Amino acid sequence: MNVEITRLASGLTVVTETMPHLESVALGVWIKSGSRNETDDEHGIAHLLEHMAFKGTARRSARDIAEEIENVGGELNAATSTETTSYYARVLRDNVPLAVDILADILTESEFDEEELRREKHVILQEIGAANDTPDDVVFDKFSEVAYRGQTLGRPILGTPDTVQGFTPGQIRNYLSRNYTTDRMFVVAAGAVDHTTFVKQVEERFARLPMTPSAPPVLEAARYIGGDVRETRDLMDAQVLLGFEGKAYHMRDFYCSQILANILGGGMSSRLFQEVRERRGLCYSVYAFHWGFSDTGIFGIHAATGGNELPTLVPVIIDELRKSSETIHQQEIDRARAQIRAQLLMGQESPAARAGQIARQMMLYGRPIPNPEMMERLEGITTERLTDLAGRLFFDTVPTLSAVGPIEQLAPLTDISTALATPGIQTKKAAG
């Protein structure tokens, strides 16, 4: 791993991985701040800021930003999540100085023009509307809302029409000054990049970043609550999401949880796919996932199926969860490890994937994690650890259930909880 790290006097961290066989470079700025860092009156502002960064600076109009990067065949984009925000580009090696200049420009000199803000609010309102019209988006948003009820972690990243329409340029600047500071920012590049040259370019162009926040960043401690949320809609399919509190990035069982999710529903050979879809034909989509955050996590099973299949589908899923707490085969662990290893190695062939991976590891662990070290952590996972984890995850915590669509035949959460807690008990809807 040819990774070099330099921490500038300003506190900004610069990381590169040189891939000399490439002609392109993926680079970006990752900020350890997202929707969780919003105050109660800022719901949606992290995402709005990400949009507004491209809408004009003291030196460039919104059109200039788009044209300059595309004139050289490059790409420019951004993303907001619950705990991070990223602004990134991909260009040929000769155009790295231009990409650095544009990224620095939009992050240090954005004007947040009133007219541009008005137009972008309208765009985000359409984005919110589109998300509300997409059942598999809705089921995840509602799941988070009830799992972390009344908390920033449970709020939709996009905000609401009311909150988005009410934001002012001053509020955006306040959020920016509080969260976009050098101690929380990482500039990362992977590909045909020279570390020393890149550091000099970053140091020169990002000199205007504040070193300390105007006020301490907000991060409310997560409290997993769990519960039930349902929305009946006239749709062809029902979207169902059953979940439990998972593990944070730094917890001992984090990697175990990733392996368990893979075994249960990580691909076509997984238990849920084989039993629910292939053997029984109960749904067209079923998978398991584990999301880690800084202080909590979510382990979930998502299925999309016809409403009439729900009375049979849910007990089968519960039965597979119970089986995972009783028996895990070594072959399943080996297959899951092989899939993760392949993903890691394939990611090394993509500069964009590597830049993103390095940035995430810097934010989470303070250093890049070499692939051999990652695999070594996975090697210590045994069948006993996995069955023990499954028992604690699925049967010792309050579940969260989110459902959207023709869900009249979906059993009450109390029945599902009873079925989880009592071997051999089926939900009333399934038994009836």
Q: Residues with catalytic annotation?
A: 50
Cα(406)–Cα(307) distance, integer angstroms:
5
How far CA 185 is from CA of 2, 84, 169, 360, in Å, comes to: 21, 10, 22, 11
Instruction: From 179, 141, 157, 165, select the one nearest 37 (Cα to Cα).
Output: 179
Residue 306's φ and ψ, nearest 5 degrees, are -75, 150
Cα(95)–Cα(93) distance, integer angstroms:
5
Instruction: From 232, 79, 80, 264, select the one nearest 142 (Cα to Cα).
Output: 232
Contacts of residue 278, defined as CB under 8 A and 6 or more positions apart, other chains included, come to none
Torsion on CA atoms 420, 291, 175, 132, rounded to nearest 10: -70
Contacts of residue 115, defined as CB under 8 A and 6 or more positions apart, other chains included, come to none
Q: Is-contact 247 254, C-beta < 8 A?
A: yes
Retrieve residue 284's tokens: 């067209």
CB atoms within 10 A of CB 63: 9
Q: Which residues pair with 242 in a beta bridge?
A: 301, 401
Q: Is-contact 311 409, C-beta < 8 A?
A: yes
How far CA 255 is from CA of 32, 243, 258, 374, in Å, comes to: 22, 18, 5, 9
For CA atoms 99, 100, 101, 104, the dihedral sign is: positive
Pairing of strands 185-191, 13-18: parallel
- Whole-angstrom distance between the N-terminal and C-terminal Cα of the chain? 58
Cα(333)–Cα(260) distance, integer angstroms:
8
